[in-house]
């Protein structure tokens, strides 16, 4: 069986070069994040322990392995300088520009990065929207890691923009169904696309779901336990409870009308009913929203697609949550090319530019 070995900083390989020094890197090493990037028009969401610099280091380290880029070492002189251009190969919302700058800065702070677009802008197929210049070796080393992040984030942002526009006046949310280790990056892309963030993790919001309700012995027991816990811990945070039937909605409303509670939002789960003709019946969801009548925020969940989200948004719900924004993302095709004329010729031949 193969093993993954995390080396100490002193035994890590030489991963990439600058003009006068070799940079050694450890996934555990911490970088001072006090670098200002002009392109950061949408700030990443906050997280008490997430280390985005560490994620960048890990992505670079898994690519370089224990030898570094052997192809670059064999073919590209360290002193050679080039200019490479970002090329959109399909239409969409670009995202990850600020993160790309962080990656280039981590590989080689002397690389010069310029953009004609910013995070959240619409790009058309064939558009050159940015360039990086400097040492060829370091640009090529950073290339795939930069593109992996940008393509994924742009795919999330593109889908989010489409869903958010269709959901209006409701707000579109993602869920915790993100790629492991990329929680903050995925949720950042949702913000860039015009969506809103649901809870970041298990720590920043109480969310009483079906399994909690079953273990607690009922929906009211679960809410009571949360109220007691928050009071004992002297904590104030948002509290959401999942309901699956109109009877559960009524039960929650009756309890909270008689007892002071910390509840702030009611999830209306799977109250959008698929029909044989491909349409959906939202009458149950609409009834639930009318029952709640603005006393709490409401969130529709389940059977949310590009085809159904507009109809769901017209029911009066506050939020619509969709796991598909991050768990089923289609990456936006973006490339980084030094010979852009040849890249465009090939792109036109393959209908990708």
Catalytic positions: 144, 177, 209, 240, 269
Q: How far apart are CA 256 and CA 248, in angstroms?
A: 12
Cis peptide before 169 (omega within 30 of 0): yes
Check if the beta carbon of residue 113 is closer than 8 Å to that of residue 132: yes
Cβ within 8 Å of residue 269, ≥6 positions away: 210, 242, 243, 244, 301, 302
* SS3 at position 122: strand
Looking at residue 333, the DSSP 8-state letter turns out to be -
**Phi (first) and psi of residue 348, to 5 degrees:** -65, -40
Q: How far apart are CA 98 and CA 41, in angstroms?
A: 8
Core vs surface per residue 137-163: b (16+ CB within 10 A) or e = bbbbbbbebbbebbbbbbbbbbbbbbb
Alpha-carbon Rg of the chain, whole angstroms?
A: 24
Cβ within 8 Å of residue 44, ≥6 positions away: 52, 184, 185, 187, 188, 191
Check if the beta carbon of residue 255 is closer than 8 Å to that of residue 221: no
Alpha helices in 168-208 (DSSP H): 183-192
Of residues 56, 51, 152, 44, the one with CA closest to residue 102: 56
Neighbours of 294 (CB within 10 A): 10
């Amino acid at each position: 069986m193969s093993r993954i070995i995390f080396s100490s900083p002193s035994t890590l390989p030489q991963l990439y070069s600058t003009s006068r020094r070799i940079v050694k890197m450890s996934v555990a090493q911490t970088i001072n994040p006090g670098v200002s990037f002009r392109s950061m028009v949408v700030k990443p969401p906050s997280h008490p322990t997430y280390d985005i610099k560490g994620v960048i280091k890990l992505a670079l380290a898994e690519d370089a392995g224990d030898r570094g880029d052997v192809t670059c070492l064999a073919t590209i002189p360290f002193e050679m300088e080039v200019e490479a251009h970002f090329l959109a190969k399909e239409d969409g919302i670009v995202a990850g520009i600020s993160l790309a700058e962080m990656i280039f800065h981590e590989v080689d702070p002397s690389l010069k990065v310029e953009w004609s677009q910013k995070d959240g802008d619409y790009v058309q197929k064939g558009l050159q929207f940015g360039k990086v210049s400097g040492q060829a070796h370091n640009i090529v080393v950073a290339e795939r890691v930069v593109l992996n992040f940008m393509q994924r984030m742009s795919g999330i942002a593109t889908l989010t923009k489409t869903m958010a526009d269709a959901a209006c006046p409701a707000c579109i949310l993602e869920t915790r169904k993100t790629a492991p280790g990329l929680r903050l990056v995925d949720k950042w892309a949702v913000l860039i696309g015009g969506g809103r963030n649901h809870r970041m993790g298990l720590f920043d919001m109480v969310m009483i779901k079906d399994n909690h309700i079953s273990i607690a012995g009922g929906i009211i027991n679960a809410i009571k336990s949360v109220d007691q816990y928050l009071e004992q811990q002297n904590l104030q945070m948002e509290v959401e409870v999942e309901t699956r039937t109109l009877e559960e909605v009524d039960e929650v409303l009756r309890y909270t009308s008689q007892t002071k509670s910390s509840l702030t939002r009611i999830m209306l789960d799977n109250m959008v009913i698929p029909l044989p003709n491909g349409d959906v019946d939202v009458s149950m969801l609409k009834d639930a929203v009318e029952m709640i009548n603005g006393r709490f925020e409401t969130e529709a969940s389940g059977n949310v697609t590009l085809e159904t989200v507009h109809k769901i948004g017209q029911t009066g719900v506050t939020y619509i949550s969709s796991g598909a924004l991050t768990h089923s993302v289609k990456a936006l095709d973006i490339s980084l090319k030094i010979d852009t004329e040849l890249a465009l010729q090939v792109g036109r031949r393959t209908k990708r530019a």
